[in-house]
Structure 1
Amino acid sequence: MQGVPWYIECTKLPGICSDRTHSQLSFAPIGDRRLLATFRSHDDKEWPEEPTWRRCLILHVSPDKTITSEPASTPDSLNNAQEITLVRLSDYVAGLGEIYDQVTKAWSMGMALFSIATETWEHVPMCAGCCPSLRSRYVTFTLGETLVVCGGMDLGGSFLEDTWEWSLVTRKWTQTENAPVGLAGLTGTVIGDTCHLYQSGDPYHMQYSKGKWKGEENPWDPFESTHGLGGYYSRVGVPLLGHKELQLTQLTVEHDGDSPPPKCWVRDYVSLDLVPLEPLPLTAEDMQGHQQMDLVMLDSTTMLLAQDKYALFVDIDPHLLGPECHTSMVGSGFWVEEEDWEYDFEESESEGEGEGEGESEGESEGGGEGESDDHVEEW
């Protein structure tokens, strides 16, 4: 299937922190084509006493794609944190991570707020029992002035389903509805007042809004062509105008650690269309090793795809961002069959039994490959 052209130009540069030995990179946009980045530095020359300090930088991306940086303060409470996640929260950036207490010799969750206006950090107290417990690979996103933390895995490797909200107004944690399934290592995309998440490689479309979860079948499976290869799947996305999302999906193969280039899609949350887009100009060498994708919009038309080895700036075609852009009922992959589900959602059972197998086969044959080329040309 020929992908739809969607970008004007791609510019590939060395990784954001390629001049440093680092790990655990995370970043969040802070406006004016700037990013707050945090990572663990392993440069013995710069940090002779402790080679694994947490560092923060403010990165400036000029219109000609030149990246400059300046040091930013590092929160004391997160200095020895593992796997910090940064997420934009109104006029702040929230930093959340697993911290080790040198006094108690125990691990717990830690949090700090970075003020974009003053470029300073504020420690956020975490009270045991009234905030998220220690976990890894948790999912975090923001809805307005609320930070949401859900799922992840506990120390024993079990999936967690609890969901917590932290209000920027009240500065308090509130536990909300549990997720219908365990969520770990996923990246959600917020469109309007709803966060959309997908169980990578499984047909689940999870939606969170106003403290409630909703799960329904995901009609088009973007990972269908990679099933059976082994490895694990990942998905990142950024919102477009209205109810559309730009998605990148990727498979990392277990036996050699290399990944095929990510696939690109536009997903429409009203019509449920999934339109394949032209692939990004990435080579096999770019994808060597376990490459985790981070995706962010620098401004209304420039997207940054960051990995350890390179940074890819994508100038998006304005047509994709305008109200005249309409998906054309093009699907990719197989229509999800009811028997493929491992979990039951009451809503999908009541709606899906009558639609069953016959409709699934019809959509797979008619809406998948048979009509796709004509629709792609029209879009």
Structure 2
Amino acid sequence: MQVTDSTPHASLPEAEGSILNYTVKLSSTSDIKQLDRIFLEGACQLLPFDYVLLHLSSANGREMRLKRCWDRGSRSYQSNWQQDALTDEQRRLVEKARLSPEGAQATAGGNRQIAAFSRQNDRGNSVSLVVQYASSVSAERLVAFRAFKRIYFNFRSFIDESQRDPLTGLLNRRYFDDCIHRALEVIGSEKSPVVLDAPRRSTDTRQLRHWLAILDIDHFKRFNDAYGHLYGDEILLLFSRIMEQTFRESDLLFRFGGEEFVVIMENANPAEAMAALERFRMAIHAHRFPQGERVTVSCGAIEVAGSLSAASLLGKADEALYYAKAHGRNRTFMYEDLVASGELSEAIINHTAGQVELF
């Protein structure tokens, strides 16, 4: 690979060979964030981009972006998460790209071209690409990049749909199993810092710990009984939207089924984790749901430790949740606090089967 114009240039056969390898990598991962990284690396092998920017926008207005750009100092491509807004020029181009399957293109300064491509799903979430490259790039390379981009978009759409709950759009139970096992492996290896999935604020450089919380809507059955299942579904949808608005981009939000939800959070200490859960609990309590109903939620949480299995974590968090249900509901409890105060022992009780498992 030669370097001119401050960016690398590979021969077209070289680049196409790399793209075949990256296409195989795309097809062999079920992790959507890993898919994003593989695509960005492959795109920069194919074209001498100044940068490739992946912009994720949700229906409720949350935005994230992953950028891979050429660094002149190290003479290599570098990737980093950024949570600041797109530039005005980039945003205008993305808006135009959403109206055309072929994307949108404009001339930038310094003999450069800037192009954007966008896909939006049925839930209103969009994935957009913004790329900048030299005007001298050949038409053959651009055709190859567009083909690789289509493959990526198709794989991403398939993975995203397979990981989502069809009603709420939150992550589903199957994807939770992948996430929690991966988190336990990383935490157990004592690697630092731990980054499970999504980006955090770039200014937060503290040692972060993971927390798992089970959230259960109180007396949910009475809403279905009083107003029917369509009303119950509306509560679940509003509940999930408040989750997305209250928790951070780095928090993973799951619907387990029925009225039960799970959050995996990154926080520096137990007080921050408790504050995040309490902020959500109070947001639910303050929201006026349809029919003028007040909805409340009970929460049980535990720190994710590498020495525990996924089943143990869920069992202990469920014990804290059960304690909240038994002590007035609309409350949040940490498992560790309940054990320290003597309210719970290290035995996990199966309330439905009446069995006790010791860990």
Q: TM-score, structure 1 length as denominator? A: 0.26
Q: TM-score, structure 2 length as denominator? A: 0.27
Q: Please tell me whether Structure 1 or Structure 2 has the larger radius of gyration of its CA atoms.
A: 2
Higher relative strand content: 1
Higher relative helix content: 2
